[in-house]
Amino acid sequence: MTTGPGERSLPPIREQTGAQVRDLAIWLGLVLIGLLTAALAVAYADDLGTAAAPFFGRYRIAINPESILAPLIAAAVLYAASRPRLTRVRWPAILTGAYLSALAWTVALALLDGKGGLDHPLAGTDGYLVNLAEVDGPGDFLATFTTLNDQLTAASVGHPPGPLLLLSLLTPLLGTGLGLGLALTALSTLTIPLVLVTAKNAVGERAARRYAPLIVLAPYAVWVAVSMDGITAAILAATMAAGAHASRRSTRGLPAVAWAFAAGLLLGAATMFSYAAAWMGLSLVFLNFARRRPFHNIATGLGALTPLLIAQLWGFNWMTGLHMAYDDYTNRIEYQRPALWWALLSVVVLIIVTGPAIVASARKMRNTPGWPFLIGATVAVLFSIAAGLTRGGVEHAWLPFFPWITLAATAPAAPGGPPARMPLLLAAAGATTGVIVEAVLHSPW
C-alpha cells in the first residue's frame, strides 16, 4: 500500500478488518434494497405465487427448545476459527472438522422446525416420496420416465430421474422418516470438504483454510438438509475436485487422463440429478485451458457422456426429459408469475442466502486463480435469469452453485498478494442470516 508524504499505512490487520466492515456494509445495503424491492413486488405485482417474497413459501416464527442449538454451534465454529493454533492444525483435520461442523450446523438449522425439519421436505404433496411407487426397477423406470409427467409431482418432473432412483435405493434400508433425512443431509454436507479440497488445489491452502468458516456457516445451509439439490451439490463438488486434481502440475500421464475421465463421469452423474448441473462443465473446460491441459477436455467429455449413454440404452433420453421439465414449467408456473419481478427477487435471494461473502468474492474475483469455478456457477445463474426460468425457488435450485460463487471471498486483495485474513465478521453475519431465515421462513423444501 503506497502512502503520501506524512501518511502512514494502516496495519495489515486493521486494513483487512476495515475491508470486511466495508463488505458487510455493502451487503447490508444491498439486502435493504432487495427487501424494499420485495415489498414493491408484493404491492404491485399481479400474482407472485408466494406469501414470503423474495423467497418461495410463507413466513412464520419458529421458536422451540432446539432453537438454541444453531447459535451455539455457530459460536463454537467462530471461536475455533479465531484461534491462532488453527494455522498449525493438519489439513485432514481441517477437512474433518469442517464437515462435522457443517453437518451439525445444517441439522441444527433444520431442527428450528422441530424434528419434522428432517423429513417433511421430501414428504410433501409436491415432493419425491409420493412417486416412489412408480419405481418398479431402474430399467423400467428409466424407460417410462418421460411418459409419466401426468403422474409425477412438481419436484420429480422438474428433475431427471436420479433423485427418485437414489431414494428407491435408500428407502428400503432407511425408511422414509428421520433416518432417510439424516442420511441425505450427511451426503449433502460432503459438499463442504470437497469444495475445500478444490479450493486448496486452485487457490492454495491458506486461502482455503480461511474460506472454511464462510462455507461451513453459509446461510444457504437452510436448504441443504434433506435436499436432493444438496446431493447434486455434493456430486458437482466431487466433479470439481477430480477435475482440479487431474489438471494439477504434479498429475501426469495416464493418472491425469483417468482423473479427467472421472471428473466427466461425475459431471454426467450430476446431470442425472439436475439439468442445470451441466453448466458446471464450463468450469472444467476453463480450468483445463487455464492450466494448459486442453486435451483433458476430451477425456472429461467422454466421461460426461457415459452416464447419459447408459441411461439412453435403458430408455431415458436426457434431452426429452429436459423438454418435459420445461413444458411442465411453462404450463404450471411460467404464465402465472411475472418474469421481471421474479428476476429481481431471485437476485435478492442470491444476495441474502450467500451472505456478505458474495460481496467479498465479487470484489476480488479477478485476483483468484480459482476463477474458472466462479465463471461456471455465475453463467448458470445468469442464464436462468435471462431465460426467464427464475420464478420462485432459486434458493434450492441454485444450491449447487452457491459455494463456487463465493469462492473468491478469501482471495488476495491484490493479484499475487497474501490471502485475506480469517473472515470472522463475514462468517458471523452469514450465520446470523441463516438462523433468522430458518426461524421466519417455512419453505416446501
pLDDT digits (tens, 9 = 90+) for 158-186: 999 999 999 999 999 988 788 999 999 99
Whether 105 and 70 have beta carbons less than 8 Å apart is answered as yes
Residue whose C-alpha cell reads 406469501 in the numeric block? 51
Give the distance, in angstroms, between the CA of residue 227 and the centroid of all CA atoms in the same chain: 11
Is 5 part of any domain? no
Report d(CA 36, CA 31) in Å as an integer: 9
Is 350 part of any domain? yes
Is 6 part of any domain? no
Which pLDDT does position 12 carry in this prediction?
Answer: 47
Count: domains in the chain: 1
Q: Is the pLDDT score of 14 beyond 60?
A: no
Whether 119 and 176 have beta carbons less than 8 Å apart is answered as yes
Is 49 part of any domain? yes
In percent, how much of the chain has pLDDT > 90? Answer: 69
Dihedral of alpha carbons 443, 159, 182, 176, sign: positive
How, if at all, do strands 441-442 and 58-59 pair?
A: antiparallel
Is 10 part of any domain? no
Which pLDDT does position 373 carry in this prediction?
Answer: 96
Is 2 part of any domain? no
Cα separation values, 168 from 71, 128, 228, 319, Å: 35, 10, 13, 23
Whether 110 and 185 have beta carbons less than 8 Å apart is answered as yes
Is 1 part of any domain? no
The per-residue pLDDT for range 72-130, each reduced to its tens digit, is 999 999 999 999 887 789 999 999 999 999 999 999 999 887 777 777 667 666 788 88
Q: Which domain holds residue 368?
A: 16-442
